[in-house]
Amino acid sequence: MTLSIALRGDTARFPGNTLPALRSASRAGADLVKIDLHLTSDGYPVLADERLVTAPGSPPRPVGEFTLAELAAIRDDVERRVPTLMEVLADFTDSGPPPLLVDASEPEAALAADTLLRGRGFGDQVLFTGSTETLDALRARSSDARLMLAWDKPGLPPEDVVRTLRPAVLGTHYTLLTRELVIEMHRSGYFVTAWTVNDFPEMARVIGMGVDALATERIEDLVSLTSGREQEASTAGSV
């Protein structure tokens, strides 16, 4: 079974990294939602598409230069408001860990998010990705941290990188993958994720390579494949 990952939520309907986008992706059946995490100047982990945020009448500035209150004042529209990670976690009331793939912009943001998750009893249960510096900081904190190494070069990552980070998941752009490479990654013990596949026929082709997860901005299309709904509809239509 191939897992479906919604990049920044259901961005076909809502602005990415907002609560409406995350909720819509969850309702659509996404297995994981990849969120982009940054740290405000007063230390709050927040979700935002970009490192830069534009205030009305001002040039773009890094998220880290704003306090949480300043970010809230920039976007008063509920569909575009910058949510905190705490708000996102409050949306998941089940006993299990939240179905998130946390892409942290920097080590400080990743560690702040990890601290928050541990405080809620979800230590080492949520998958993190980011720069090698970010992953290294998380690995230094816990030998059991769940890490995805985003590898954007052909073939497997170097042994020294793997030895240091010990990722459980390799994430690769789908254009770099072949069936043979996926088999090699599996033999090396990795769970393989492909990104960013938005074309429906390409989704089917990449799933056919044997990847374990697929990341997309078209989550309903992907879920129709991974859940078998497309196949069921086709079968029903032929009866």
Domains of the chain: 3-238 (3.20.20.190)
Amino acid 57: pLDDT:
76
Residue 60 has pLDDT above 90, yes or no: no
Amino acid 80: pLDDT:
80
Please state, in angstroms and as integers, the Cα–Cα distance from residue 152 to each residue in 155, 157, 175, following that order: 9, 9, 10
Angle, vertex CA 143, rays to CA 140 and CA 148, nearest 5: 85
Residue 187 has pLDDT above 70, yes or no: yes
Residue 235 has pLDDT above 70, yes or no: no
For the CA atoms of 216, 219, 225, 230, the dihedral, rounded to the nearest 10 degrees, stands at: -140
At position 171, the amino acid (one-letter code) is G
Average pLDDT of the chain, as a whole number: 91
Mean pLDDT of 154-170: 95
Mean pLDDT of 11-40: 95
d(CA 102, CA 15): 17
Amino acid 93: pLDDT:
67
Residue 233 has pLDDT above 70, yes or no: no
Residue 234 has pLDDT above 60, yes or no: no
